[in-house]
Amino acid sequence: MDRKYTLMAMLFTTCFVVANILAFKLVAIFGFVFPVAVFAFLLAFCITDVVTEVWGPKAAQTLVFGGFAANVTAVLLIRFAIALPPADFWTHQEAFGLVIGSVPRIIVAGMVTSLVSKTLNIYVFEQIRKKTGEKHLWLRNNGSSFVAQLVDTAMFQLLAFFGVYEIGELATMILTTFCIKMLLDLLKTPLVYLGVWYCKIGATHERGN
């Protein structure tokens, strides 16, 4: 692998890990309320599409497993830091735990969902590429994202909040979040084209399977 793949891996891992922290920040845009972590996850999906297109599905899957391992490590270290007794003069323990800690069920739901949806995204992207060849990057980018984001949204909401909210409320949350993700996903298509163009400049490697 070359330096550009390493750069993509670093960016992907950063998005994967930081998303768990950003999930606590809710934003309201045009009347829609959603966690700001959506932006980090969309960028992560963008990177997996670029890597799948340039280096192949195996390289992209390695990225996903590496990001998952980094996420697990980060969560364990965060929980360890929260559990340690604070210094007598440090009065921010409660705020510290509130900001970077989380309910275990939500943490597990987020990590499992991300692993499954990103793996699915790579698979669907590659299946579409087998039909289209190197043409229609926009189709496999958005087609794979549509399937993966639907599974990602539904799976997370059900794992994290089933039994907490009524079925009707869950359905509304899933539909609203999915629509927001797909709208933003369409906007990221130019970034995928830009990323593929950049990674292919001076490339000497052959695309893997």
| Portion of the chain with pLDDT greater than 90, in percent | 40
Looking at domain 3-200, which CATH architecture does it have? Orthogonal Bundle (1.10)
Residues 6+ apart with CB under 8 A from 203: 2, 4, 54
Most distant pair of Cα atoms in the chain: their distance: 63
Q: Report H helices in 56-136.
A: 57-83, 93-100, 104-132
Map tokens 């994967």 to a residue: 16
Query: Residue 188 corresponds to which tokens in the numbers above?
Result: 């990221």
- The whole-angstrom separation of Cα 148 and Cα 142 is 10
| Portion of the chain with pLDDT greater than 70, in percent | 96
Residue 101 pLDDT > 80: no
Can you give the pTM of this predicted structure? 0.86
CB 55 within 8 A of CB 1: yes
